[in-house]
Amino acid sequence: MIVAQNLVKTFEGITAVNNLSFNVKRGEIFGLLGPNGAGKSTTIRMLLSILLPDSGKITYDEISFNDAIRNKVGYLPEERGVYQKNNLIDVLNYFASLKGMNISESNKVALKLLGRFDLITYAKKQIRELSKGNQQKVQFIISILHNPDYIILDEPFSGLDPINQILLKEIINELKEQGKVIIFSTHQMEAAEKLCDSISIINNGKVVVQGELSKIKKDFGDKTIRLEFDGESSNLEKNENIIKLNLFENYLECELKNNISTKQFLNSIPDTISIKKFEFVEPSLEKIFMTSVAKSEVQANE
């Protein structure tokens, strides 16, 4: 389990990460979400001990970061690029050796992974001969080659085509089943939504929303209702139980006031409208993201 407690990091007076705490269990995928400049990369760098926090503490299965843990961490940075003029297999072996693997062992694993990622024909080729997407796959291989316990991925999906995105998701899920601790940051809410068990949305270095994804959705979404109907819709516009309404011809999406139950709402619908379909809508992660970030901006400005 990775536990981060009250992390704070400032750069020349600007607080990049402000009192951030989270924990990620084995077999769990944790999404670190936030707009550009939110402090995601700084947090990741602190997790990897590339940067030291000004205050706060990070433990890996109750141990502070040390050389042994360094060998058990796999990391995929956001910017992509590998040594261009070297052979693919040499580069993979080099990075594996930095994680304490011997060459014969790493060679075996590397070839297996290259096969999985359909790159085996490039093993002896210079990396610059690979396409950008393939180079990205190489970097992902580097991050998991040494069978790490803790995997930290910064924007793993950006730049990959849909087929490779699916492959990557598959592998991440496999890693989860193997009991790895997986943390990744992304802008792609759709990917996060499908993969993450828990998330933390941060903005300006502060946590805005955090917790298990399903619970966040539930908390956020049990007041959003979708209704299909026949009849005069204008009657609905003035309904006092609604705070937010998107009204279409025979269809509406609305959010109920906090103290209003679904039953109260249904009762308040006039008889001139016949309900054809009624459902609760789980908000998309994207919606949660947009709303919570916007809210935090407003709070910050106040």
Partner 1 sequence: MNKIYAIARWEYLEKVKKKSFIASLLLTPLFLLGSFLIPAYFSDKEGDKQKVFVIIDETEIVKPILNSKLSEKYKLESKMPFYKILELDEFGNNFPVQKSIAINKVLNEEIDGYIFIPRNALSSHKVKIEFGSKNIFILQDQERLKNEVEEILFTFQLEKKGYNYAEVTKLKPNIDLNAIKITSEEDSNNQGPLQVFFSGYLLNIMLLILVFTTGQMMVRSLVEEKSNKLVEVLLSSCSSKELLSGKIIGLSLLGLSIIIFWIILFLLASIVSTQSIVSFETVNLFLSSLFLISGYFLYSSFFIAIGSLTSSEQDAQQITGYLSFIFVVPLLLLVPVMQTPNALFVKILSFIPLFTPSIMIMRINFQTPSYLEILMSLLVLIISGYYMTIIAGKIFRIGILLTGKRPTFKQVYTWLKNKE
Under the rule (CB under 8 A), what is the footprint of partner 1?
A: 45, 48, 50-51, 67, 70-71, 73, 75, 77-86, 94-95, 97-100, 139, 142-143, 152
CB 56 within 8 A of CB 4: yes
Q: Which of 212, 226, 217, 215 is nearest to 291 (CA)?
A: 217
The minimum distance between CB 35 and partner 1, in angstroms, equals 20
The minimum distance between CB 61 and partner 1, in angstroms, equals 17
The minimum distance between CB 73 and partner 1, in angstroms, equals 6
The minimum distance between CB 120 and partner 1, in angstroms, equals 22
| DSSP, residue by residue, 237-298 | HT-TTEEEEEE-SSEEEEEE-TT--HHHHHHTS-TTSEEEEEEE-PPPHHHHHHHHHHHHHH
Q: Which is nearer to partner 1, 142 or 208 (CB)?
A: 142
Between CA 41 and CA 33 the distance in angstroms is: 10
Helix 88-98 and helix 132-144, axial crossing angle in degrees, nearest 10: 30
CB 8 within 8 A of CB 52: no
Single-letter code of the amino acid located at 51: L
The minimum distance between CB 101 and partner 1, in angstroms, equals 10
